[in-house]
Structure 1
C-alpha cells in the first residue's frame, strides 16, 4: 500500500454509492400471480473493479473452486492494503428446484458472486443490501422487472447528491420568486451516465490556467491538488463562485474530493 493512503480513508472511499446508472434490479420473490416481484438491486462486477483500481490499485484477489454434484462453489480471498477478507458464491450446474435454471457459465457466475461478497466485507457495495424492498410490476416471460424503483437520496453517488441538492435549491428559489421551475437536465440515452455526473474526475475545467484539463489530470499535476481543494472552496480563501459556470465547477470539485476520499485526505 502506498504511504499516502490511510486504511480508514480507503474504506470511506470504497463505501460511497455507485453512480445510479450502474445500479440494476433483478426479480426476487414474486406474488402468486407472477405479476409482481421484489426488486433486488445489484451492480455488475466491472464497477467494483474500477472502484478498487481507483482507490487502492494494489488490491489482489485469489479464488478456490469446488465442484459439487449439482453446483460449483467458489471462495474469493480479497486483499486490500494488506488486509484479507473472504466471500463465497455458488451456481447450479443443473436444474434443481422448480423454477431454477442452470447457468451456462457457472464458474464465472459463482466467482463474480464471491468477489462482490468479499468486497462487501470492506464496505464496497454494502449499501445495496440496505435499500428498501419494493414490489414492482414483473414480466414473467422475460423474468424482468418492468418499473424499477427510484433510489433514495442517501443511495446516490456524491456527485449526484450534490446535483440533486443544487437542483432542489434552484427550484425553491424559483418558487419563492414566483418563477417557473427550470427544466431538469435529461441523460443522453446514447451515452449512458452522461448528465448524471457519474465521474467527476472526467469533468473538464472551462476556465483558468487548467482550462480544458480534467479534474483527474489536474489532481495528478505538481500543484493540482491544492488547486482542486481551492476550487472546492475548502479553507478561508477558497474559490468564490460568481456565475453558474463557476458554481458547477465547484460542485464537481467537491464531488471529486468526496469520491476520491483516499486521495483527498
Structure 2
C-alpha cells in the first residue's frame, strides 16, 4: 500500500525503552507514560495532534509580531515519547545568493505502516548593517536555523504543534 506516503511496515519488534524513561521526562505531569511498544499510526497521530502545554511553547519577535513556536529539542522529546523509533534526515540542501534552503524528511514507524512527511526551512545567510557592511543576522548559524525550521514544520505535518498556526495563536 502506498497511499499518502503510507507503506505497510514489516512486523516491527517491540520497542525496548528504559523502565524509568517516563521519570526522566521534563513534562511527565502533562503527558501520560509513553508507549513501550510500536502503536498504530492513528493512535500516534491522535497523541501528536493534541495541543502542546503552554509551558513548552516559546515566543520570538519577528517584524513587530510575537510568534509562538516549539523549540526543536522539545519536539525531539515529544517524538521520542509518542513515536519511539522515529527517524529524521535532511534530504536536500540548496543555496541561493543570500539564503540556505533545507528539506527535512521525518518518518514515523507504526505497527501498521511507516509514514514519511517532508517540509522545508530557510534562513538568510548574511545581511548588511546601516553602513552596508556584511553582518550575521540570525542567532546561531543559518544551516542549523534552517534545519530546525524544517524539522519543526515536518513535525507539524504530523499534527505536532499544528494548533499554533490557527488564528488566535499568532500563526
SS at match of 1:107: helix
SS at match of 1:54: helix
Q: Trace 1:103-182 onto structure 2 (pairs within 5 A).
A: 103=138, 104-132=140-168
Matched with 1:62 is 89
Matched with 1:204 is none
Of the two, which has the highest radius of gyration? 1
Matched with 2:53 is 19
Matched with 1:84 is 116
- Larger fraction in strand: 2
Matched with 1:214 is none
SS at match of 1:49: helix
CA distance in 2, matches of 1:4, 1:95: 46
Among 89, 99, 115, which residue is 1:71 paired with?
99
Among 90, 93, 115, which residue is 2:125 paired with?
93
CA distance in 1, matches of 2:89, 2:169: 33
Q: Is the 8 Å Cα contact of residues 73 and 91 (structure 1) preserved in structure 2?
A: yes
| Contiguous gaps of at least 5 residues in structure 2 | 1-11, 15-36
Q: Is the 8 Å Cα contact of residues 92 and 101 (structure 1) preserved in structure 2?
A: no
- Larger fraction in helix: 1
SS at match of 2:145: helix
Q: Is the 8 Å Cα contact of residues 77 and 85 (structure 1) preserved in structure 2?
A: yes
Matched with 2:23 is none
SS at match of 1:78: strand
Q: Write the deviation string for residues 101-155 of structure 1: whole angstroms up to 9, x where unpaired.
A: 6234000000000001111110011011115157xxxxxxxxxxxxxxxxxxxxx
**What is the TM-score of this pair, normalised by structure 1?**
0.43
| Contiguous gaps of at least 5 residues in structure 1 | 31-37, 135-265
Which runs of 4 or more aligned residues in structure 1 lie more than 6 Å from their structure 2 counterparts after TM superposition?
Answer: none
Matched with 1:102 is 137
CA distance in 1, matches of 2:100, 2:49: 29
Q: Is the 8 Å Cα contact of residues 72 and 148 (structure 2) preserved in structure 1?
A: yes
CA distance in 2, matches of 1:90, 1:46: 18
SS at match of 1:115: helix
Aligned-residue Cα RMSD (Å) equals: 2.4
CA distance in 1, matches of 2:48, 2:129: 36
